[in-house]
Structures are given as structure tokens and as C-alpha cells.
Amino acid sequence: MRFTPLEHLARRNGVQLAYRDALGTHRTVSPESLRAILIGMGVPAASDADVRRSLATGDAEPWLEAMARTVVPRPDWTIDIAVPHGSARVQLIIDLEDGGNRTQDVDVRVLSRATIGGSRFMRGRARLPDGLPMGIHRLQMRGNGTEASSHLLVAPQSCYIPDDMRSGARRWGTAVQLYALKSARNWGVGDLGDLADFAALSAAKGAGVVGLNPLHALFPADPGHFGPYGPSSRAFLNPLYIAVDRVPEFAQSVAARQLAATSEFALRLKYARGTELIDYPAVAALKMPVLEKLHAQFRSNWTSDPHNARAGAYREFQTRMGSALHDHAVFDALHEHFFRIDHGMWDWHRWPEAFRNKDSAEVRQFGEKNAERVDFFTWLQWECDNQLAAAQAQAKAAGMPLGLYLDIAVASHPGGSMAWSFPTAMINGVSVGAPPDEINPLGQTWGSAAFSPRGLRSTGYLPLRASVQASMRHAGAVRIDHVMSMQRLFCVPDGMAATEGAYVHYPCAEMRGVVALESYRSQCLVVGEDLGTVPYGFRERMNDAGALSYKVYYFERETDGAFKRPERFPAQALVTATTHDLPTLTGYWRGRDLDWRDKLNFYRTPEERPQAREDRERDKQRILRSLSELGLLPAGVTPDSEITPRLIAAIYAALARSPSMLLMVQAEDLIGDVEQANLPGTFDQHPNWRRRLSVAVEQIADRMDEIAGAVKRER
């Protein structure tokens, strides 16, 4: 097949030229989309002349760059290198992550030679020293008058799985949207104190894990941006989840307690707790002023006694998190500063040019001038980390083998801290999305920034590592949202329809290695959310890498449409009835999701509307038939019956019979709630991420017995 120069350049940089969407339509990516994506990667492609120059640069690159920017050893423990023509002997110097050092002279097995710009080069393979520990080390190579350095990734073959689960132990747990937890003590949104309490009561019912929505950092200056899958940074946490009353300084700060004791505060707190949907700005208006006073109290304590335990722990946290923590806090202070001046400067790309570079003199001067505000945002991250650690400790102390199960969003917001901190690691001017499918026939654009494959390698995968480490640090398991992004990601150029997007391919083996390394270090189970359009062979590769697959009851069917029997589910998997993006079991039974589709006209043709209702009735019959065959159908239940806790328990009991390592029960199903947390493809048409559970944390335990009992009997 003949390709144009632009197509050659796209293929060389991992951009797929065509694809078949979930509806069976073959789509060819337009030249305009290819150019936009390449330019976003930093590859000149605006004109034909740019394309020719980029191709020529790409031809020379493998010879002029002595090593890849990130090196992963081959199975035979060799690496690829290029050196000027001459001696086939080079010196490898490895600065180990833990501070050690290895040096070795090795012979290069020359495989090819070329002349570039009048100079001769040779490429080949060199063997690394034996016995290198796992980690991301610094590799230097010297030979024939040239020197080069790279990141050396030495990772385990697979992610961590607890020994008892490898031997057949099957866990179950509860899954909840943290913001949705309602309690008598929180300030209008579920917080990390509620999480600790919910984990303890779940453990008392036999659950071994509590699953959560992403807890990533959002934008403190703009609490109206609350979608958990569009974070500012996946490497830090959302301060709005701090349980203010459980911050140690709350008992010490007279100013904070006086503020919280005023009649005006009480009225605003009553409103924030009582709204049908969560009012995030109202919650932030309650929490942030009090947190500011608690931070002032902390600084006062530190000034009076620099050697107190809290001060020492804070210094240790700052040291451990390094410059990334400072950069994030400076970003939050800058974002607050510019957003208050002009809401149009919400995105850092619209800030004055000098402030778009985190290393500029202007940014440094701003940080110095506003040191106390920067310290406030730093302190918020420390408090989040403390309370998340406490929740995990409480879950483990209550008997949970895994404890918390955190969610890692597929990407971060292009206007956020991570993109500002690592601009070259992102594809600029594109958004992550999804091609057309049955649920969204026009495709989806999610508004998140995609990593650049080239940029990731150049940083030694630092932003990916930071994202994974942040979620694994205080968790026994993590869910990687849209895990196919480790192989390919659908990218839509800004201003274009989702149907104009293209798949960008990633160095899958290297990204799997990063995840496996951090999983091993943190002793953390990995679940890959592999729903939707999955590349051929991808699930098998992830299975080999020790990640659990993600199986949802609604989608697991036989060829005739019947629901799969429990024994047909794989062992290395998480199984659940539904997710935050799908109807609750009660909502599914009542067709509430179809009501929303009717309201929003989510249909391609008029005929699809009645067909969806017919299909749902047929599926309800299939569910009951499946439960009957398993001996789990409650007496007297028909497709026309109202769904009951006993029927919900029977569905989860069926899933509990599967050999799958992990079963998650949605909190909404525990209490019979109708509405789902998120309706994909909507923004303000549906109250995404704002619904509370109908039952408070204090009463949920009383509603869990039916399902918990059914699951425990089968698990």
C-alpha cells in the first residue's frame, strides 16, 4: 500500500490512519486531523515542507541518538545502542535508583551501519550487567568519542497479586462515590472521615475492600469544576475531601471554632447538607476559610516549637514528595490568583506568557512573594494524605485484607497542574475521547489531555509514575480507568468532532513495566478497566502482566444474548453488576436509564426508542431465567415485579459464585437507589457527580445484611 509523506510521518509517530468503530463503520482519518495531532506532539507537520523535514529528521534519529530516552532491557538482557563508527566496545555506567553504581565495559554486537550527514555510524546490542535491581535507574554510555544518558527501566514481569488470591481466595467489597456519602458530621460532601467510617462498617459485614471514585486534585479556586475524571493532577489529592473536624488543629484553633460556631455558618452548613444535589461551591465556601485558619494555627504551633511531631512529619512529607509537590502548590496559588482577576484565565494557557513556564523567573518570584499561600496549598495536600492513610489504616485494622481500592483517571485536564508541570509530556491541542459506539453514536470528547508517547519517554515516564504512585501509596488495589490507553488512545483535535479523531499508539510494554514496578513496590493489586473497544490481544497481554480484567454483568453475554453463568467468568478478574457510568440495578429494572435516553434523545433513529424498551424487557426475562437455573430466583418474581433487595441480592449471589478474584457491590445497590452517578456523553444535561446516596453512612449498615449475607455464603 502506498502512503503519502504525511501518512508515513503519522505512522512513524504512532498515529493510526484508519479504524473501524464499534458500529462497524470504517473511518479514515483526515489529513487535517493527522497534522493537528502531529503538531500537538511537537512534530512539525503544518506544511508539506515541514513533513519532509520531519521525515528526514526521523530517518536520522535512530543513528544520531545513541540510546532511546527510556531503555527497557530485552529478554536476553541487552539494549539497543548507536555509536559513531569505530571500536565495538563501550562503557556502560548505571547510577542505581537507591544510590549505588554499576560500571561495565561491554562489546557491541553490530547489526547495521549507515552514513548520516557524511558521518558513519553503527547500531547494535550491548548486554547490561547482571543482577540489576528493579527500579528506574540512570544509564550512561561512553564510546567512540560520544556520551549519552537515558532512563533504564527494570521492572518485574507482572503486577502484584496477593499470594492467597493467586491460590484461589476470592474477595468481595463495596464500591462508593466518596462525595456521595451522607453523614451527620460532614460539611455537605462525603469526606475522608466518612470513608474511614464506611470502610469500618463494610469490614464488619465481611467486605475485604472499599472501591472509590478518583480522589485526584481538582481546582481549589473553582469548586464548580468537580468532575473526578477531569483532574488538575492525578499525582495529588482533592482537598475538598478533607474532614475538617478531624484535622488536629481544629481542637486547638479558637478562630476556626468561633467561625464554625456562628449562626450564619450553621445556616450555610444546614443548606450544604440538605441540598438534593451536592453544591460544591457552597461546600468550598464552608471548608476553605476554616482550613485557612487551621493552617495558620499549624504555622503558629511550628513557630513556637519547630521540633513538634506534626512539624517534623510535614517536613518529611515535603522532602519525600520533592519539587513536584512545590510545583503543584505554586500552580494552585497561581490558578487562584489569575482566576480571581479574570475567569477567562482559568486555563494556564491563557496566563501571561512568563507564567506558563513553571521554571521561569516570574513564577519563582511569585512563589517567593506568596510563600504563605503556597504553603497553604502544600499543607492541604499533606492533610489529604494523612487522612487517606488513616482511612486505609482503619480499613485494615477492621479486618479488610485489601482496604481501599482507588481509581486512576485515564488522563488529566489540559488546563491543570500536571499539564503545566509537564507540558512536553502532553499532546497539545487534542482531547482524549472515544469513537462512535452504540451508547454514543457521535463519539465522545472527554476534555482531558493525552500523554505524548515521545514526551513520556523523555521524562522516564515521570508523570505516569507519579500518577500511579499517588493512588497506590495508601491502597491495596487500584483501578486503571480505560486501561487500553497503555496501548492506544483515541485523540480528538480541539475544535473537531469526535468522529474526526484518531488512535495514537503508546509503548505498551514500557507502560506496563512502570505500572508493574509500582504495583510490586506498593504491594498493590491492579485492575484494568477494559470495557469498550479493546485492541486484539490486549486483554491477554494485560492478563500476562498480572492485571485483573473488569467484567460487568450487563455486558457479559453468550452469543444468544443470555447472561453468562458464573463459572464462565475468568478467575483473574473483577466482576460487578454495574458501574458509576451505568444504571443501578434498580434503575436498570425500572428502565430509568432509558427514560434519560428518551429525554435527551440519545437515539440515531426513531425505531431505536421502542426497540430499547423491548430489549430491556427481554433482558429482564433473561436475568430471571438465569437466576432460576442457578436456584437463586426468589419465589414469585416475574419481569413485571418490582425489584426488591432480595432480587438484587440474588444477582450479586450469582456473581459471587464466579471464580473471579474480586467482586464489587455498588453502594447504590446496597440501598436500592434508582439514579446512576454519571451519564456518559452528558455535561450539564444530567447531574453527573452530584448525587448523594439516599441513606446516611450511619444507617447503611442496617441495609447491607441481605446482600452481604448472600455474597458471603457464595464467596
**pLDDT (mean) for 121-130:** 94
Average pLDDT value for residue range 375-387: 98
Q: Tens digits of per-residue pLDDT, 457-490? A: 999 999 999 999 999 999 999 999 999 999 999 9
Contact 66, 146 (CB under 8 A): yes
Q: Return the pLDDT at 109.
A: 95
- Interval 302-317 mean pLDDT: 92
Kindly tell me if the per-residue pLDDT of 682 is higher than 90.
no
- Look at residue 336 in the predicted model and tell me its pLDDT: 98
What distance in Å separates the CA atoms of residue 386 and residue 579, rounded to the nearest whole number? 28
Q: What confidence tens digit (pLDDT) does each residue in 152-166 have?
A: 999 999 999 999 999
- Residue 311's pLDDT band (boundaries 50, 70, 90)? very high
Contacts by residues 383-387 (CB-CB < 8 Å, ≥ 24 positions apart):
383/239, 383/242, 383/247, 383/291, 384/192, 384/215, 384/236, 384/237, 384/238, 384/239, 384/241, 384/242, 385/237, 385/317, 385/473, 385/474, 387/191, 387/192, 387/193, 387/196, 387/241, 387/242, 387/243, 387/246
Three-class DSSP category at 65: coil
- d(CA 289, CA 187) in angstroms, rounded, equals 13
User: What percent of the chain is predicted at pLDDT more than 90?
Assistant: 91
pLDDT above 80 for 1? no
Q: Give the model's pLDDT for residue 400.
A: 97
For residues 203-228, give the mean pLDDT: 97
pLDDT at 436 over 90: no
Give the pLDDT of residue 683: 83
Radius of gyration from C-alpha coordinates of the chain:
27
User: Quick one: average pLDDT of 116-122?
Assistant: 92
Is residue 594 within 8 Å of residue 612, measured between CB atoms?
Answer: yes
What is the pLDDT, as a whole number, of residue 644? 95
The set of cell numbers assigned to 526 is 491492579
pLDDT at 376: 98
Per-residue pLDDT tens over the stretch 667-680: 999 999 999 999 98
The mean per-residue pLDDT over the stretch 135-156 comes to 94
* Residue 186: per-residue pLDDT: 98
Is the pLDDT assigned to residue 439 strictly greater than 80?
no
Q: What is the DSSP string of 490-548?
A: EEEETTS-GGG-EEEE--HHHHHHHHHHHHHHHT-EEEE---SS--TTHHHHHHHTTPB
pLDDT of residue 327: 98
Average pLDDT on 532-546 reads 92
Helices 192-204 and 371-397 pack at an angle, to 10 degrees, of 10
pLDDT at 83: 92
Q: State the pLDDT at residue 412.
A: 97
**Cα(235)–Cα(256) distance, integer angstroms:** 29
Selected residue with higher pLDDT from 22 and 425? 425
pLDDT at 55: 95
Residue 666 scores a pLDDT above 80:
yes
Max Cα distance, the chain (Å): 85
User: Any idea which of 143-147, 298-302, 364-368 has the lowest mean pLDDT?
Assistant: 143-147
* 24 confidence band (pLDDT: 50, 70, 90): confident
At 221-271, the pLDDT tens digits run: 999 999 999 999 999 999 999 999 999 999 999 999 999 999 999 999 999
Kindly state the average pLDDT of the residues 140-163.
94
Give the mean pLDDT of 138-147: 93
Quote the pLDDT of residue 605.
Answer: 86
β-pairing verdict for 18-20 and 216-217 = unpaired
pLDDT of amino acid 306:
84
- Average pLDDT of the chain is 95
Amino acid letter, 326: H
Which tens digits make up the pLDDT trace of 312-366?
A: 999 999 999 999 999 999 999 999 999 999 999 999 999 999 999 999 999 999 9
Q: pLDDT value at position 443?
A: 86
Q: Which residue's entry shows cell 511569585?
A: 366
| Residue 94 confidence class, pLDDT cut points 50, 70, 90 | very high
What is the C-alpha separation between 304 and 693, in angstroms, rounded? 44
Q: What is the mean pLDDT of residues 208-214?
A: 98
What does the pLDDT look like over 44-63, one tens digit per residue? 999 999 999 999 999 999 89
Q: How confident is the model at residue 216 (pLDDT cuts 50, 70, 90)?
A: very high
DSSP string across 372-408: HHHHHHHHHHHHHHHHHHHHHHHHHHTT-SSEEEEEE
Grid cell locating 173: 467489597
What per-residue confidence (pLDDT) applies to 702?
Answer: 86
Report d(CA 225, CA 454) in Å as an integer: 30
> Average pLDDT, stretch 517-521?
97
